[in-house]
Chains A and B, each alone.
Chain A
Amino acid sequence: MRVTVRVVGHAVEYFPGRKDVYELEVEGPVRISELLAMLGVGRALVMAAIVDGRRREFDFVPPEGAEVILMTPPAGG
């Protein structure tokens, strides 16, 4: 099944290929934490995950075709 991952914030530069959208094909349901592992991105770099407009924990399993938005940290004042 397909899951789309969008990365928000300047820390996109630490993601593979520095892209801000990734189309991932996965075998069956996976947790958001596993999607991060697939992208080779440290959990520490993602501040929040949003699916369908709602913040979700990293053990949440997005449904097929979902768009997962990964918020990377903004800067402080």
Chain B
Amino acid sequence: MPDKKLFGYGGRILRVNLSSRTVKTEPTPEKLAREYLGGRGFVAKLLWDELAPGVEPFSEGNKVVIASGPLAGLFLPGAGKIEMGTKSPATGLYGEGNMGGHLAGELKFAGYDAIIIEGVAAKPCFLLIDDDKVGIRDAARYWGKGAFEAEKMLKDDLGEDFKVATIGPAGENLVVYAVVSHDFGRQVGRTGVGAVLGHKKVKAIAVRGSRGFEVADPEGVFKKGKEMYEVCFAKPGFEEWTPYGTAGVTDWINDIGAFPTRNFQTGYFEKHKQINGPALRERILILDKGCTGCPIPCGKYSRTTYKGKTIYVEGPEYETIALMGGNLAIEAIEEVAYLNYVADELGLDTISGGSVAGFVIECLEKGVLTPAQVGRDIKWGDTEGVAWLLERIARREGIGDLLAKGVRAAAAEFGQGSERYAMHVKGLEISGYESRFAPAMMLAYMTADIGGHHNRAWAITYDAAVGQDKIEGKAWKVIELQHIRPLFDALGLCRFPWVEIGFELEHYADIFPLVTGWTSSWEDLLKISERIWNLTRCFNRREKPDFDRRADLPPPRWLEEPLPSGAGKGKFMSPENANKMLDEYYALRGWDKNGLPTPAKLKELGLEFVLDQLPLGAGQCG
């Protein structure tokens, strides 16, 4: 088949086999690009096609797929996101995360749309990608170093113009919530992609691309891109949003009673003003920092000194303020920033890490664990204790060895009712929204494909708009968001210009044909997003034959415990109401009562091939 030029794409998929130490390139198939776009779409389809069902996450058979998207690396707002996915060691299900920075564009400039990493290296290595020159290089000198430290060393060794992604000691030691880090503060945070790379002994990926790539209508793209920037500059929020970034939402989340506090015991933290956006800006910020092509940089690069040590960190983001701030009752932004730094350099997820720490502190508080078992007593607000714990986890020492497997595994081991303190869905620790007074947000957490994460559907404003009490009639909105937001993840784009300053989605729809030469409408693109959503649902079912509605249920705390304080005092989601929401959700999605796509839905989305491997609709029981 002749190589058809794909406008907007790097053009090739790089396949690296670490076991055989071979590197191959294949042209990016047009069918894959048309039907799955890129980014998350490539990750989902390639993992479905190439992973043997039931493969162990920490085994030679697992793969990591890294994919940029057709709108990444272009002159338009938010063109900087790359996706990475694998079978997650945390959940045993579809795992995926994304990050900004500058890797998404660079990969395409080097002429690649995706990298498939297979096998396991015999000793620590890093991937060097320099246009057509691709090598598996020895990483002995970087192994064991922190994520930032290793990035700095590699940039010094290879050249400042290399874009570098690294894992930290947490990834090397297979902590299931280890991250992939890049640009001194961006991470692929969730589901443990960093751990799978660590198992493969890949310390880093360094990319330099000088080829550029072609678009269908260069004049048109440049003109439309300029117009898009002008629209952003004119938005009222353009000046307002950047100063605080995501930290700016902290006070509001407390006002509506959704701020994780003391391991999600409640939804309001009395000291939130000491860890909010203004606190960040006034006390520790040095620079606004952004990704490729972004006019509203959300990154807040900060400096602070804790116990005589001066640290630099990009953050804290809202999620870290939630999970390592309120969730641990840490009362000062400087200390949240310090914990952020500790987690980042170790290369572990601040959301899951904060959740695990909160779980441990509650277990100590309630007597499920003793200080002797933990190795020391840790109290709410105990920054030093939490930093100590994160180190133990990253190095798999003492109780850190078990905690490295996540709250679900830890609670299963500790027993004594600690399952009610384990705040996860499907094995992925819940991120920054206490949802007992936000049913749409809770439904979003229940139904996200990777587990307890908010990025698929940030539905909490919908709860605020139509009433936080209302249970019914919200599923449609969660579904709509689950199609729009992950579409950004398939296009290689950041959703923040839209989410934060109301930049209209139509602009992306307008520029897509100018880039690719394809006449796809926004509705066509949303359909692709729905396709990917259904495929990852099927992936989960394929990996776990009993995966169904039961996996969509929220944790016991949310099903049984009334919120003790805050705007949502007294609220919780009863099992009855949780199931009502799921019934409504499944019906609207065209799924059966067990929460699985029907054959008709699969055919509608061009996913008939799934039925070859999954007997869906053939009289399955629940």
Direct contact between A and B judged by beta carbons closer than 8 A: yes
Interface residues of A (CB under 8 A from B): 6-12, 14, 20, 41-42, 44-45, 47-48, 50, 69, 71-77
CB distance from B364 to the nearest CB of A (A): 27
CB distance B319 to A12 under 8 Å?
A: no
Residues in chain A near residue B318, CB distance under 8 A: 76-77
Residues in chain B near residue A77, CB distance under 8 A: 246, 317-320, 432
Task: Determine the main DSSP class of B at the interface with A.
Answer: helix
CB distance B236 to A8 under 8 Å?
A: yes
Can you list 6 A-B pairs, Cβ within 8 angstroms, ordered by A? A6-B236, A14-B465, A73-B460, A74-B241, A76-B433, A77-B246
Task: Determine the main DSSP class of A at the interface with B.
Answer: mixed
Instruction: Select which of A7, A41, A48 is within 8 A of B502 by beta carbon.
Output: A7
B residues 261-314 touching A (CB-CB < 8 Å):
none
Residues in chain A near residue B461, CB distance under 8 A: 10-11, 14, 45, 72-73
CB distance A71 to B240 under 8 Å?
A: yes
Residues in chain B near residue A74, CB distance under 8 A: 241, 246, 248-249, 496, 499-500
Interface centre among A9, A41, A42 (most CB of B within 10 A): A9
Residues in chain A near residue B432, CB distance under 8 A: 76-77
CB distance from B295 to the nearest CB of A (A): 15
Residues in chain B near residue A7, CB distance under 8 A: 236, 502
Residues in chain B near residue A76, CB distance under 8 A: 246, 249, 253, 317-319, 322, 431-433, 454, 458
B residues 179-237 touching A (CB-CB < 8 Å):
235-237
Does B62 make an interface contact (CB < 8 A)? no
Instruction: Select which of A9, A41, A50 is within 8 A of B499 by beta carbon.
Output: A9
Does B467 make an interface contact (CB < 8 A)? yes
Residues in chain B near residue A12, CB distance under 8 A: 502
Query: Residue on B with the closest CB to A76?
Result: B318
Instruction: Select which of B235, B246, B256, B465 is within 8 A of A75 by beta carbon.
Output: B246
How far, in angstroms, from A11 to B432 measured CA to CA in the complex?
19
Residues in chain A near residue B7, CB distance under 8 A: none
CB distance from B497 to the nearest CB of A (A): 10
CB distance A44 to B500 under 8 Å?
A: no
CB distance B460 to A10 under 8 Å?
A: no
Residues in chain B near residue A73, CB distance under 8 A: 249, 252-253, 460-461, 464
B498-531 interface mask toward A, CB cutoff 8 Å, 1 = contact, 0 = none? Answer: 1111100000000000000000000000000000
Residues in chain A near residue B500, CB distance under 8 A: 9-10, 74-75
With known contacts A8-B236, A8-B237, A47-B252, A75–B464 Cβ distance under 8 A: no
With known contacts A45-B464, A45-B465, A75-B496, A50–B240 Cβ distance under 8 A: yes
How far, in angstroms, from A40 to B537 measured CA to CA in the complex?
38
Interface centre among A7, A20, A75, A77 (most CB of B within 10 A): A77
CB distance B465 to A42 under 8 Å?
A: yes
Residues in chain B near residue A75, CB distance under 8 A: 246, 249, 454, 458, 495-496, 499-500
Does B173 make an interface contact (CB < 8 A)? no
